[in-house]
Each structure stands twice: as structure tokens, then as C-alpha cells.
């Protein structure tokens, strides 16, 4: 850092320092309100502005797709990005940070819970308005949130526990099928399960039960992996869980009750954005509390040195067992949501491809870190969508990126960082 800043001219150095300084002073509230304003601006003048700039319509994913598809439109897409997103957010962050810091301080003094809820509400509002512009955005947001849940739950095993589990697609499949079987058999008239048993009107109230059931089914499946594999440490779990994944996939393919290889469709459309958002928030909250609890710390101790942890009265087998089932539970819940978002699942969704995707998200974001899981899942899913115009070359760029991350930061981008909501919403002054 020192070496580079010496070469810069005094003015540019000044501006660089200034930018750093004021970015670090902006509270989370500032970014959220900035995002909200940007999204509002897009709603109000997005389409006319895009037309005026010569774009066919308002860019769906920050203009990246259009930049890759039609390189000639790069300047106008970049201008759109600047005018709609960067400028409002930057202006609010620059000139509103003092007032917003005071507001954040007041909020924190008033009630932490209220402040957290307000931040969440702002975040949801921004997401809601942003995704309101097209169905594609809604789908991207939903799938990204689900990816966050899956990544976070796998991070409990691969990051916090330090084992290498390959069975997450299997758990997702169990959750997806259990939840779908519950909702489809009770509330939908279809060919596989016959007529609906209960009126569809009360269905949405049963959706949490369906998701819970999905989670519990995944946990029961996890027991099959956990009971034999936690007798020894090391790569044993990787193999057993891999075999388990093959078994689950093959089992579902052979269960004609749930459609076999043709898959299971016509799930009710209950996984709307608020539901998915709420479930994800609850998932992050509970998992974050779990990893910060005594049990979570015991889990870290088991990872770092199982024998020492044992000597320190940690019941290592029980700890690993609970953590594994817990992670599988959330993978199952995410699977249930996934099935209801796409409203169709088939066994081949939950294969090696899915495994590679989830592992990529975990290791890209960072081990042993809730931030890492969020960052990894979000960036890999959004990157996957943004690079779609490149077609198959997307699958060269993303793996290359991941290899580079692994070489330069072997534990991922944001590893071993504690996620503290109180710290996050504090005023930054």
C-alpha cells in the first residue's frame, strides 16, 4: 500500500484517502436507504431512461447481461448503472452519512430489536421493489436466498466442523420431496396423490409445517450418514456422504409414488418472496446463534483438535452428531422452498452438478463464516446469471475464478469472521 500511494500525485492520493474514509463512515442504514432510493428511482424513471439511452428495456441484472450480449451498448448500460444505482447510493452515502449515523445511534439506543427489524424491513423493501420489475428478478432473488441457506448449512459442516460432506444435494432432495409430497397430497388435485384432502385456502398456514417436515426428513436421512461415519475422523464422512447422495437420488428415481425419474410437479405457489426472505432470515439467525453458542464453540474445538476437545470435556461425538443433523435440517428446509419456488423437482436436479455448485459457493465465500456463506452464495448465483450470455464459457470463467480464490485465499474470501448483527447496525462514527 505504501509503495503504491507514494507514486500517486498528491491530489489523487487525497481523493483516494477521502473515499476510503467516507465509505467506512457510512452506517448500514445509509447503504440500505441508498439502495431503496436507487430502486425507487429505477421504478419511476428506469424504463424511460433506458429507452433514452438506447437500451431496449431497463437492464435486468445491473446491465451486465446486456453488456455481454451487445458490446456496443456497454457505454449506455454503464451510464444507466451509474445514474440509477451508483449515483444515488453514493450521494446518500456521502451527504447523508452524518444524519444517518445520528439516526442509527438513536435507533440503537431506543431498542436493538427494533433497529434490527427496521434494517430488515428496509432490506426487504429494497429487494421487493427491485424484483417487482420483472418475474425473472423475483426468481433470481428467491434462488439466491435459497442458495444462501444451503451454503450456510453446508458451512456448518465443512467450515465450522471441518469435515468434508458431499451429501447436501441428497438432503435437499429429501426436503424437497417430503415438503412437496405433504403439500401436493393435502392441498392439490393431481394425478399422483389424488384429490385434495383439505381446502387450498388454509394451505399457506400449513406451509411452515411442510418445510419443517422437509427439514426433519433430511435430518433423519442425515442420521444414516452420521451414525456410521462419526466413529473415525477424516475423509470417511466424504465417502459415506457421497454414497448417500447416490443412494438418495437412486431411491427417488425408483419411488413411483412421487413420480420416479419424471419428477414431481404442481406444487402450490406459496413460496413467494416474503416467505423465502423470512425463512432465510430465520435460518441465518438460528445458524448464527448456533455457531456462536457453546455447542458451536465446541464444534470449532472438535475441528481444531478432536483429542484436546475430548480432554476438555467436549462430548465430541454428540457435538458432531447434533451439528450434522442441524445442518441437514436447514438443507432440507431449503430444499422444500426450492421445490415450491420452481414448482417442479426431479431427482437429477440433486446430483453431482448441484454438489459442485454448493461446494463452490461455500469455498468461494469462506469457511467458518456466516458473511462468507452469504457472500459466496450471492456472488456465485448472481455471477451465474450475469454470465449467462457467455453460454458454456461461463463454466470456464467461474471455475477459474474459484481456483484463483483457492490459490490466493485457500479458506475463501471472508473466512473465520464472526457475524455480529449488533456491530453491523451500529453507527460508524
Partner 1 sequence: MVFFQNLINALQWGSFYALIALGYSMVYSILMLFNFAHGDIFMVGAYIGFGVASALIALTAMGAFALPSWLILVLTIIFSMFLTSFVGMIVERVGYRPLRDAPRASAAITGLMIGIILETGNLALFGAQRVSFPSMINTVTYNMGGVFVTNKKIMIVVVSLLLATALHQFIRRTRYGMAMRAMAFDYVVVPLMGVPLNTMAAMTFALGSALAAAAGILFGVAYPVLDPYMGILIGWKAFVAAILGGRGSIVGATLAGFLLGFIEIFVAMIFPSTMRDLIAYSIVLLILVFRPHGFFGEAYSARLRL
Q: How far is the CB of 231 from partner 1 (least distance, A)?
A: 7
The one among 17, 194, 223, 235 contacting partner 1 by CB under 8 A: 235
Q: How far is the CB of 235 from partner 1 (least distance, A)?
A: 7
Q: State whether residue 194 is helix, strand or coil.
A: strand
Q: State whether residue 82 is helix, strand or coil.
A: helix
What does the CA dihedral 228, 232, 234, 235 come to, rounded to 10 degrees?
Answer: -40
Q: Is the CB of residue 251 less than 8 Å from the CB of residue 221?
A: no
The one among 11, 232, 294, 313 contacting partner 1 by CB under 8 A: 232
Cell readout for 27 is 452506517
Q: Is 348 in the site for partner 1 (CB under 8 A)?
A: no
Question: Which of 236/371 has CB closer to partner 1?
Answer: 236
Site for partner 1 in 254-283 (CB under 8 A): 254, 261
Nearest to 207 by CA among 264, 145, 270: 270
Q: How far is the CB of 156 from partner 1 (least distance, A)?
A: 14
Q: How far is the CB of 72 from partner 1 (least distance, A)?
A: 24
| H helices present in 132-257, as ranges | 135-155, 168-187, 203-229, 236-254
Binding-residue total with partner 1 (CB under 8 A):
43
Q: Is the CB of residue 332 less than 8 Å from the CB of residue 175?
A: yes
Q: Is 238 in the site for partner 1 (CB under 8 A)?
A: yes
Q: State whether residue 69 is helix, strand or coil.
A: helix
Q: How far is the CB of 379 from partner 1 (least distance, A)?
A: 15
Q: Which among 101-109, 208-216, 244-252, 324-332 is the span making contact with partner 1, rule CB under 8 A?
A: 244-252
Q: Is the CB of residue 258 less than 8 Å from the CB of residue 192?
A: yes
CB-neighbour burial class of residue 32 (10 A; exposed 0-12, middle 13-18, buried 19+) = buried
The one among 18, 393, 417, 424 contacting partner 1 by CB under 8 A: 393
Binding flags for partner 1, 160-199, as an x/- string (CB under 8 A): --x-x-----------------------------------
The one among 250, 289, 293, 315 contacting partner 1 by CB under 8 A: 250
Q: Is the CB of residue 26 less than 8 Å from the CB of residue 428?
A: yes
Phi (first) and psi of residue 312, to 5 degrees: -90, 30
Q: Which residues bind partner 1 (CB under 8 A)?
A: 158, 162, 164, 228, 231-236, 238-240, 242-244, 246-247, 249-251, 253-254, 261, 303, 352, 356, 359-360, 363, 367, 392-393, 395-396, 399-400, 402-403, 406-407, 410-411
Amino acid at each position: 500500500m505504501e509503495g503504491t500511494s507514494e507514486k500517486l500525485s498528491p491530489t489523487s492520493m487525497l481523493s483516494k484517502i477521502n473515499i476510503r474514509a467516507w465509505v467506512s463512515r457510512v452506517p448500514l442504514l445509509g447503504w440500505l436507504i441508498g439502495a431503496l432510493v436507487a430502486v425507487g428511482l429505477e421504478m419511476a424513471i428506469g424504463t424511460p431512461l433506458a429507452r433514452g439511452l438506447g437500451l431496449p428495456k431497463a437492464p435486468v441484472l445491473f446491465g451486465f447481461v446486456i453488456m455481454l450480449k451487445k458490446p456496443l451498448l456497454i457505454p449506455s448500460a454503464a451510464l444507466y448503472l451509474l445514474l440509477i444505482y451508483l449515483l444515488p447510493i453514493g450521494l446518500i452515502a456521502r451527504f447523508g452519512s452524518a444524519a444517518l449515523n445520528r439516526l442509527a445511534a438513536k435507533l440503537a439506543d431506543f431498542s436493538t430489536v427494533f433497529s434490527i427489524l427496521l434494517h430488515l424491513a428496509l432490506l426487504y423493501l429494497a429487494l421487493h421493489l427491485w424484483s417487482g420489475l420483472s418475474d425473472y428478478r423475483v426468481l433470481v432473488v428467491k434462488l439466491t436466498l435459497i442458495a444462501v441457506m444451503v451454503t450456510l448449512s453446508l458451512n456448518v459442516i465443512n467450515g465450522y466442523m471441518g469435515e468434508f460432506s458431499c451429501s447436501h444435494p441428497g438432503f435437499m432432495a429429501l426436503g424437497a420431496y417430503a415438503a412437496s409430497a405433504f403439500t401436493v397430497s393435502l392441498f392439490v388435485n393431481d394425478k399422483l396423490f389424488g384429490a385434495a384432502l383439505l381446502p387450498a385456502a388454509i394451505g399457506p398456514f400449513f406451509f411452515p409445517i411442510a418445510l419443517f417436515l422437509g427439514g426433519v426428513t433430511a435430518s433423519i436421512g442425515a442420521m444414516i450418514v452420521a451414525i456410521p461415519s462419526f466413529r473415525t475422523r477424516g475423509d470417511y464422512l466424504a465417502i459415506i456422504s457421497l454414497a448417500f447422495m447416490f443412494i438418495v437420488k437412486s431411491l427417488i428415481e425408483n419411488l413411483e409414488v412421487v413420480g420416479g425419474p419424471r419428477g414431481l410437479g404442481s406444487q402450490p405457489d406459496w413460496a413467494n418472496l416474503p416467505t423465502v426472505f423470512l425463512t432465510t432470515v430465520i435460518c441465518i439467525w438460528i445458524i448464527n446463534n448456533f455457531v456462536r453458542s457453546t455447542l458451536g464453540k465446541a464444534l470449532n474445538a472438535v475441528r481444531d483438535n478432536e483429542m484436546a476437545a475430548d480432554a476438555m470435556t467436549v462430548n465430541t461425538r454428540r457435538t458432531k452428531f447434533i451439528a450434522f443433523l442441524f445442518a441437514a435440517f436447514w438443507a432440507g428446509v431449503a430444499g422444500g422452498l426450492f421445490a415450491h419456488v420452481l414448482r417442479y423437482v426431479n431427482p437429477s436436479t440433486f446430483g453431482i452438478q448441484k454438489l459442485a455448485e454448493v461446494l463452490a459457493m461455500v469455498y468461494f465465500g469462506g469457511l467458518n463464516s456466516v458473511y462468507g456463506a452469504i457472500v459466496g452464495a450471492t456472488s456465485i448465483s448472481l455471477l451465474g446469471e450475469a454470465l449467462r450470455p457467455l453460454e458454456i464459457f461461463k463454466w470456464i470463467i467461474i471455475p477459474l475464478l474459484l481456483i484463483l480464490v483457492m490459490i490466493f485465499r485457500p479458506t475463501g474470501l471472508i473466512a473465520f469472521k464472526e457475524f455480529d448483527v449488533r456491530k453491523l447496525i451500529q453507527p460508524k462514527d
